[in-house]
Structures are given as C-alpha cells and as structure tokens.
C-alpha cells in the first residue's frame, strides 16, 4: 500500500551523525511512511550504514548516485517517493518522536495548508542546546516576511503537500544553496503555512555544515530570492545593494556594515512591499498592526546594536522604528 507520508533525506559523508538522524525517524509515533534516502556520492562509510538500515527496515529505500549537491539530490528523492505528503529530514539533525504525528494532524485538519513547520532547538557538537527558535509570528504573515528573509528558518523540519510542491515546480536546481528559502516562497503561493507551536526538531549547528562552508555563495542566492520576491509583489526591482542591506538587517549583522544610503533604500523597499501585500490581500487587513509592530520592534532592536558613538546611524534606526510604530 502507498504510504501517506514520504520522508526524504540526502546524505553526503554523514559520518557518526547519520545513525542518530535515521534512528529519530524510525522512532516516530506516526508509522505510515516510507523513508527515501539519497546517498549523494559519499566517500565515507555512509552507503554501508544506509544499506544496513535498509536491510532491517523495509520502509527505507536507498538511492545511490554520484555527487550532485543537495538540491538535485532532494529533487530526485521527492520524485522517487509516493506519499501525499513529504517530510524533509537532514542527515545530521534529530526529529522528536511525535514530530510526524503532530505535523500530519495539523496538515490533515485544514486543506488550505500547503506546508507546516514547528519550533526548533539548535544544538552543538557536544549535544548542548544553543538556543530555541520559536516561530512566533502569525502564519498568515509568512508570505509578507518571506520577501525579507527566510523566517521559517531550518529546512529539515517541514512537511509539505506533494500537490503544492508539484504546482510550485519543486526544487529548482538553479538554487543550489538557500534551496529551502526559494521553495518555501513558491509553495506558499499555493496555500498557507501551519505551525505546530512545539519544539519537534533539533537542528545541529556545526562549522562544517553546508551553510557554514558556503556562506558567501549562500548570501548570493539569498539575495536573488529577496530581489525576486520583492519585485513579484511590488512590480519594482530592488538593487543588489538593497537586497544585501535586507539580508544584513534580518540576519542581525553588525549595523555599521550597511551604508546609511542603503539603510534608507532598505526601509523604502520594505514599506513598498508592506503596502503592496495588504493591498493585494485585503482580507488580512486586521494583521497590519501586528506586521507593522514587528517591523518597528526589529528597527528598534537593530538600533540598540549601533555603537553609541555612531549617532547618525543610531538616530536613523530609531527614527524608522518610530515611523513603523505610528503605522501600528
């Protein structure tokens, strides 16, 4: 029988982290799933580990291929899967035992939901918790804030409907990094986001992660998504400098990295996106206050990070915080 859920994971040199990741999937209280694992050209003993697990659990299907990179590997994995729903899982992370059960219950409760996420716990190589990332925004505002940054955070904690994934065009190989950010923006044109307000996924923080190893290239892809989404909503292109300022603002980079002229253009771009979003979604008008309040709070928080001696920059951040507070 076709399982209702397909779990898709790509592995490249998974090492000692691979076993705990697989075990966390097999220990799920929700049992109706297949587990598609793509070995993306690993040069360590990952393939042997995968075949040993597959020999013990018939739900595991291993695809062995030459190295293509994460995006292409995931695209192949989803294509090979059969479930109505697709859960992502990363090979160095851990899913909590009730993750699938609770996320599937939410997805099945509302046909308008295209995907669901949850809160995340970041942990280091020693297993110690670094922070808990709570998705504390109204999910109906996700499409607005995705124009600015990937507020859904991690990749592996999401489950999406196959129909929404296919309607969105699936993983795009042109986005070989920040592939999750690109995909979420397109899937959420097909439906809405749901959030299970619990920590159901543990995300490993490592200096050797794909994100850490490809920081500069990842920023470039992220800027592309920011520019595309802002232009799609407003009809106006934003400059590379403005997209970079957006990235630095929402990624909490040091404020002095962003030129003052770029800060002014950044606020103008966010204001235009904000206005366009609510003009195109009048049914969400009641959320304007919350959205403007979030922007005011973020400007104020960033302003507090400015060095006291940088009077002009601090004044500009706090002035924008005040303007957004007036809109709230």
| pTM reported for the whole predicted model | 0.94
Question: Do residues 184 and 78 touch, judged by C-beta distance below 8 A?
Answer: no
The pLDDT of residue 211: 59
Q: What is the tens place of the pLDDT at every residue in 277-290?
A: 999 999 999 999 99
User: What's the pLDDT score for residue 154?
Assistant: 85
CA distances from 65 to 18, 44, 74, 75, 210 (A): 17, 14, 12, 13, 19
Q: Which fold has domain 5-212?
A: Spore Coat Polysaccharide Biosynthesis Protein SpsA; Chain A (3.90.550)
Residues of the chain under the 50 pLDDT cut: none
Q: Convert the pLDDT of each residue in 147-194 to its tens digit.
A: 999 999 889 999 999 999 999 999 999 999 999 999 999 999 999 999
For position 126, what pLDDT does the model report?
A: 81
Look at residue 58 in the predicted model and tell me its pLDDT.
97
From the list 63, 101, 95, the residue with the least C-alpha distance to 79 is 63
The dihedral of CA 83, 55, 44, 63: what is its sign? negative
Domain boundaries, the chain: 5-212, 238-327
Alpha carbon separation from 7 to 60, 93, 197, 202, 292 (Å, rounded): 9, 14, 21, 16, 37
Q: Which of 21, 22, 10 is nearest to 70 (CA)?
A: 10
Which residues are within 8 A (CB) of 256 and not within 5 positions of it... i.e. 6 or more apart?
Answer: 306, 307, 310, 313
CA 123/CA 284 separation, integer angstroms: 36
């Amino acid at each position: 029988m076709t399982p209702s859920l397909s779990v898709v994971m790509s592995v490249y040199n998974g090492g000692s982290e691979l076993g705990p990741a697989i075990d966390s999937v097999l220990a799920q209280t929700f049992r109706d799933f297949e587990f598609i694992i793509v070995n993306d050209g690993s040069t360590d003993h990952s393939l042997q580990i995968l075949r040993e697990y597959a020999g013990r659990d018939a739900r595991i299907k291993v695809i062995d291929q030459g190295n293509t990179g994460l995006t292409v590997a995931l695209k192949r994995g989803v294509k090979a899967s059969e479930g109505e729903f697709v859960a992502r899982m990363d090979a160095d992370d851990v899913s909590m035992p009730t993750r699938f059960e609770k996320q599937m219950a939410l997805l099945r409760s509302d046909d308008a939901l295209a995907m669901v996420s949850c809160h995340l716990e970041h942990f280091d190589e020693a297993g110690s918790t670094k922070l808990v990332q709570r998705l504390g925004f109204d999910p109906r505002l996700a499409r607005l804030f995705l124009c600015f940054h990937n507020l859904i955070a991690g990749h592996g904690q999401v489950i999406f409907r196959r129909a929404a994934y296919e309607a969105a065009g699936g993983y795009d190989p042109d986005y070989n990094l920040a592939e999750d950010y690109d995909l979420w923006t397109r899937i959420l044109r097909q439906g809405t986001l749901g959030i299970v307000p619990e920590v159901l996924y543990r995300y490993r923080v490592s200096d050797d992660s794909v994100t850490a190893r490809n920081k500069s290239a990842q920023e470039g892809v992220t800027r592309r998504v920011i520019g595309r989404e802002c232009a799609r909503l407003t009809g106006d292109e934003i400059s590379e400098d403005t997209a970079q300022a957006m990235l630095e603002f929402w990624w909490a980079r040091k404020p002095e990295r962003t030129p003052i002229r770029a800060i002014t253009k950044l606020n103008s771009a966010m204001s235009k996106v904000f206005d366009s979003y609510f003009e195109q979604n009048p049914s969400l008008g009641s959320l304007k206050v919350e959205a403007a309040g979030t922007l005011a709070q973020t400007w104020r928080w960033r302003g507090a990070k400015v060095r006291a001696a940088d009077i002009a920059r601090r004044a500009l951040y706090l002035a924008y915080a005040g303007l957004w507070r007036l809109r709230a």
